[in-house]
Amino acid sequence: CLHLLTISPSLPLLTSYLTLLLTHLPPPTYLKQINAPVATSTGLNMSPLSWIVYGLNAPAASLFLDFGLEVNHVFSMEDGRKVTALDIVEVLKGKGAETEEIDKVLTEKGGKRYSELEEFTDRFMSNI
């Protein structure tokens, strides 16, 4: 249900659903539900944030991130590539989409591309 709502342009509907989650579920439960990916038979494994980004819905992205959505959630594309929401923004930008608003929301909330996360992990592990 949450994934279907994320592709809806209705911010009031998203807000109502999140408020319902926050009112009736303890924090660990709603955070698991908010960040839960949906896997398809083709191997696509997308989180609600990735659907929001595909819809270029910056207000919804901001709302979900404020409620605890992981800005750097890593998921798999159908071809097996690991990506984050900011990687999707780059793909959409390359196809001519207007991505400035969603890009700003993600970067202000600490969003990184998968390659940046991987680079950080490699540097961290080499210092242990």
- Using alpha carbons, select from 8, 36, 33, 9 the residue that is nearest to residue 20: 33
- pLDDT, one tens digit per residue, over 13-47 is 766 776 676 666 665 555 555 555 555 555 456 77
Q: What is the pLDDT of residue 110?
A: 95
Reduce the secondary structure of the chain to three states and give it as a string. CHHHHHCCCCHHHHHHHHHHHHHHCCHHHHHHHHHCCEECCCCCEECHHHHHHHCCCHHHHHHHHHCCCCCCCCEECCCCCEECHHHHHHHHHHCCCCCHHHHHHHHHCCCCCHHHHHHHHHHHHHCC
- pLDDT, one tens digit per residue, over 41-100 is 554 567 778 888 888 888 888 887 887 778 998 888 778 888 999 999 999 999 999 999
Q: Are strands 38-39 and 45-46 parallel, antiparallel or unpaired?
A: antiparallel
